[in-house]
Chain A
Amino acid sequence: MSSPDVPTRGPARPGPYVISGILLLAAIVVPLFVPAYSIDKPRLYGIPYFYWYQMAWIPVTAALVGISYWLVTREDRRRRESVRGEAGAGEEQ
């Protein structure tokens, strides 16, 4: 090993990661569950359910990923600040 393991982030709180994990898992599993949408009716502007349902999942996924982004980056920032705060204090001594 060539370099010391300088921590880049403080310890994690599980909350934000668990919630965003569930949101992302839903965004993967639900669109792949074909039996839920392999039907023609009801149509929307003449577009069969099969087609508009899947298209509708695109903005939903974007929103789920967006929420996860917000949760995870907020926690990420907190972890970085916690480790920088300590390092800064260490240098002053």
Chain B
Amino acid sequence: MNAAAVPLAVPDRPVNGVALTIVIILFVLVAVLGFFAARWRREETTGLHSLDEWGLGGRSFGTWVTWFLLGGDLYTAYTFVAVPAAMWATGAVSGFFAVPYTIVLYPIVFLLMSRLWSVSHRHGFVTPADFVGGRYGSRALTLAVAVTGIVATMPYIALQLVGIKAVLTVLGLGSAENVLLTDLPLIIAFVVLAAYTYMSGLRAPALIAVVKDLLIYLAVIVAVIYLPIKFGGWGTIFDSAEAKLAAVNPATGKPVGVFIPGATSYSAYWTLALGSALALFMYPHSITGVLATKSRNTIRRNAAVLPLYSLLLGFLALLGYAAIYAGTKPVDLNGSVNPQLVVPQLFLDHFPAWFAGIALAAIAIGALVPAAIMSIAAANLFTRNIYRDLIKPDATPRQEAGVSKVASLVVKFGALIFVIAMDQSAAINMQLLGGIWILQTFPAIVAGLYTRWFHRWALFIGWAAGIAYGTIAAYNVVNPVTKAHFGGSIAAIPGTDVQVYIAVVAFAINLVIAAALSLLFRAIKLPDGQDITRTSDYGADENDPKVAQIQRKYPLAGPGTPTF
């Protein structure tokens, strides 16, 4: 049978030929760029045969590349699809909190990340768990941080696929009857992504991010200027959104959504923003972006210029309301309403096909950048903190890079199977839990940047308590309509009826236990781990010698100890 003759779409959703062609052309362009990236700023003597080169792009990215890389890494395709979707479906509390979230993020990044950069630069740390291992000398705590990072990242990668899927569905690729055909374009896209990530490492997403970000800025700026003019101004758009969100949902007897939060939603709104901001730079893929920078101050400079992306995200969120006014119908292949199709559908409905193609390509390519970085970050965690620490302590840099490359493939195909085989809501639930879990590594990583006051076992038990509480609390949130568990990330503080983000309560429990047990463990003189870092390490810059160099200069100081 001739494969080309098989119709890729059922008649209910026609293929948009022009838009699809643009998407395919841009995708091919980006793939070529991804393979070319292997030769970009290449270290000629060693090639890509070390984690510093393959997994951190040679630790050489300056302000501009970092701006594009972190912009593509933090503001993922899923964000661009899910935030307007949440605005469209339930309004401000679940959607617009992304704006204060990405505002308060940057002062926090400014405060924390240059210290992490300095100590990692000195000691050659590649992952946050490397740092925790070096600081606390605790295998258990290192492993806890590494495993949390990997487990939280996996569903995040899967959600990037959900973003691509939304674009493909709107383009008319896919059918309700034939699952394999529906997923074929997704599989092809992912195999290509896996291939150039394997070849080029972090250089691939760094180069692709430039193209992707320019496309997405173009798409959103045009949409934000053109659509309000077409629809008769922002006033009418907001009025129609207010009317829709105030309507009463017959299943719950409550309004569908929140247009402007009332006093009962204040705590949910700000804890969601703060908790998410604290958690974001605990994700391994964010830290990978930070450690790939050239100097201590690159990340600080970026903290001042990255907010431009927050502005983009804010306007994109408002497009969710524009879709309410426009009456956009996000109907999925099986006929159900899928809010995640709202923004792709909006572009397709109201723009010429070629421009819609550019916007949809920007979203689809936007999924490839974070997916690549996340898989690299998870692979680095596996290589450094499981393979090297537990299996092969004397692994050479070349072996580490080899293991990491293969691990990045495994991680990506795991995410692919996740999305194809399981229900989409499973990935969303896991991502929700991932956000709660990753915040529980905050005390170990961040407190360690400033002080050794916390005891390693206190931090470990605090982490475990935070994870346990967060998981149970999230399980107990029941969706009022579908009666399914993991119905949201908001729950009352135990013993009160103040609604807050679960991760923040779990974090507070974690911190209190870690502090109390630190006092206890110090009082009973439980052995503390070895700390290989020095005060001076936390202020080191690119021109300061690395620890390996200092040891060469002062050989009498004794043999160096690796992470443990």
User: Which residue numbers of A lie inside 8 Å of B, CB to CB?
Assistant: 1-9, 24-25, 27-28, 31-35, 38-40, 43, 45-48, 50-51, 54-55, 57-59, 61-62, 64-66, 68-69, 72-73, 76, 79-80
Contact = CB atoms under 8 A, between A and B. Distances in A.
Contacts of B96: 51, 54
Contact of B557 (A4, A48, A66, A69): A4
B561 interface: yes
A18 to B, nearest CB: 13
Interface string B87-124: 00000100010011011101110110000000000000
A4 B550 contact: yes
17 contacts: A3-B534, A5-B535, A24-B110, A31-B100, A31-B103, A34-B269, A34-B270, A38-B266, A46-B234, A47-B238, A61-B107, A62-B106, A62-B305, A66-B304, A69-B297, A69-B300, A69-B304
B12 to A, nearest CB: 36
B536 A6 contact: yes
A62 B307 CA distance: 6
Contacts of B263: 35, 38
Contacts of A7: 536
A38 B304 CA distance: 26
Contacts of A25: 107
A3 B550 contact: yes
* For the complex of A and B, 10 pairs with smallest distance between CB atoms: A46-B235, A46-B234, A24-B107, A66-B304, A32-B270, A62-B307, A34-B266, A5-B534, A65-B304, A27-B107
B196 to A, nearest CB: 33
Kindly name the residue among B234, B540, B541, B545 whose own CB sees the greatest number of chain A CB atoms within 10 A.
B234
Nearest to A65: B304
Instruction: Tell me the interface secondary structure of chain A in the complex.
Output: helix
Nearest to A9: B539
Given A2-B561, A45-B233, A50-B260, A61 B532 contact: no
Contacts of B209: none
A79 B540 CA distance: 12
Interface string B517-546: 000000000000000101111011100110
Interface stretch (B15-23, B212-220, B310-318, B486-494): B310-318
A3 B395 CA distance: 23
